[in-house]
Amino acid sequence: MKAFRLDELEAERAANDGAYLQFLRERNMSVGLYALDAGQLDPQQPHGQDEVYFVVSGRAAITVGEETTPVARGSVVYVPAGVPHRFHHITEDLRVMVVFSPPEG
């Protein structure tokens, strides 16, 4: 078993000065914590893996392909591999758990 605490992951991500911290990598998936502050622009490009986003905290909108929806704590969004997507209109600091399958990179 591997267990993680969100506050410890957030501290590690912040200490490494990055928006993304991969904290689990297995044969069929990887999991990370993605952070964007209120008003920040989301620079990500389409990925070669399917993704599931689970919003831990914050408020924003996400556009996936041609569809846009608001997201907040508890929102879950699936993004198919290769589809353009971006968080925007971030009104509260956003913390998102990201599951990639197969593993990112």
For the chain, count helices (H), then strands (E). Answer: 1, 6
By CB neighbour count within 10 A (0-12 exposed, 13-18 middle, 19+ buried), where does 98 fall? buried
pLDDT of residue 105: 74
pLDDT of residue 63: 98
CA–CA separation, 60 vs 42, rounded Å?
11
Q: Is the dihedral of CA 93, 104, 84, 81 positive or negative?
A: negative
By CB neighbour count within 10 A (0-12 exposed, 13-18 middle, 19+ buried), where does 34 fall? buried
Say whether 38 sits in a helix, a strand or coil: coil
Q: State the pTM of this model.
A: 0.94
pLDDT by 10s per residue, the chain, length 105: 999 999 999 999 999 989 999 999 999 999 999 999 999 999 999 999 999 999 999 999 999 999 999 999 999 999 999 999 999 999 999 999 999 999 987
* Helix residue ranges per DSSP H, the chain: 6-15
